[in-house]
Amino acid sequence: MFLKSILAAGTAAVALSAVSASADGMGGIKEFRIGILGGENEADRLRSNECIKTRFEELLGVPVSLYPAADYAGVMEGLLGGNLDYAQLGASGYAGVYLENPDAVTPILTVQQVDGSTGYYSVMVARADSGIKTIEDMKGKRLGFADPNSTSGYLIPSVALPKQGYDVNSFFGSTSFSGGHEQNVIAVLNGDVDAGVTWVSGVGEWDEGYSNGNLRKMVDKGLLDMNDIVQIWQSPLIPNGPNVVSNALPQEVKDAVKASLLALPKDDPECFYSSEAGEAQGYVEVDPSFYETVIDARRAKLTN
């Protein structure tokens, strides 16, 4: 699957020719490979992360390539297989990598919301004209999930909803995966599902799609008018996903990447906004312990 993702990212890899690969960069590395999760179309993902690519090329002195995987699993497999050096993961994606190989990557940072929190929410939305106003109205109807490896787009709803009395397999008429967060909301708008789950900061203005998250990004791109949807469910707070680096990298490279990202909100606010899907306060340091609850939830799903 990762090979398919790499082939799909051929246009991004052309940029390698812009920087000479003959000389070693920081720590003796010859390249730096960034994995980008699925969730929106490839062109938008590349555009949102182009400034990060340029920043790391200047920092590390080596070619930097962007690999927009077709789905979450592509990035996870790339990290596990040593084919990627850095990625922003959801908490569930990191948990999946950790459970497969706890020594593959290190979580270094996570984003801090505008209110200072380090969490976000899974929300369920329906069309405003559907007559669906609450989760109770979804009995027997079609629910869309984003991706099997998404925290807010699958793992947390699949755990939280049954605890609240809504068994996913019996309460809803059907469930399906739309392929990503943007695709899931579009499926709601198109009437392919009656409601779908996605991720939001949960702070800020509703009509702007909150301060950041998938809804904010879709509003910014002109793909969504918030008057067209209603929110009918919200999860408990979820730990923000981590920026991770491969443990195969030299320590000085890992340290430099971390320091550069910590400086990003002040150095280049536009790049920070673009790469983080909206407004946020900055980054804070994290380690694996920050994700223990999500790791436990994912481990429990594997044993069920």
Supply 164's token pair. Answer: 């609240």
Maximal C-alpha separation, the chain = 62
8 A C-beta contact, residue 179 and residue 40: no
Residues with Cβ within 8 Å of 296's Cβ and at least 6 positions away in sequence, in order, are: none
Rg (CA), the chain: 19
pLDDT of residue 39: 65
Cα–Cα distance between 115 and 90 in angstroms, integer? Answer: 20
pLDDT of residue 10: 42
Mean pLDDT of all residues in 113-126: 93
Which among 152, 155, 180 is positioned nearest to 168, based on CA atoms?
A: 155
Mean pLDDT of all residues in 154-178: 96
Cα–Cα distance between 274 and 239 in angstroms, integer? Answer: 21
Q: Which domains does the chain have, with CATH numbers?
A: 26-113+240-303 (3.40.190.10), 119-238 (3.40.190.10)
- Phi/psi for 180 (5° steps) reads 165, 170
pLDDT of residue 146: 95
Average pLDDT of the chain is 90
pLDDT tier for residue 1 given thresholds of 50, 70 and 90: very low
Which among 208, 144, 227 is positioned nearest to 178, based on CA atoms?
A: 144
pLDDT of residue 12: 41
Give the pLDDT confidence of 72-117 residue by residue, as tens digits.
899 999 999 999 999 999 999 999 999 999 999 999 999 999 888 9
Cα–Cα distance between 188 and 186 in angstroms, integer? Answer: 5
Q: What is the DSSP secondary-structure string of 240-289?
A: PPEEEEETTS-HHHHHHHHHHHHHHHHH-HHHHHHHTTB---EEEE--GG
The lowest-confidence range among 41-45, 64-68, 152-156, 167-171 is 41-45
pLDDT tier for residue 301 given thresholds of 50, 70 and 90: confident
pLDDT of residue 45: 82
Give the pLDDT confidence of 179-212 residue by residue, as tens digits.
999 999 999 999 999 999 999 999 999 999 999 9
Q: Decide if pLDDT at 139 tops 60.
A: yes
8 A C-beta contact, residue 59 and residue 15: no
Kindly report the pTM of this predicted structure.
0.81
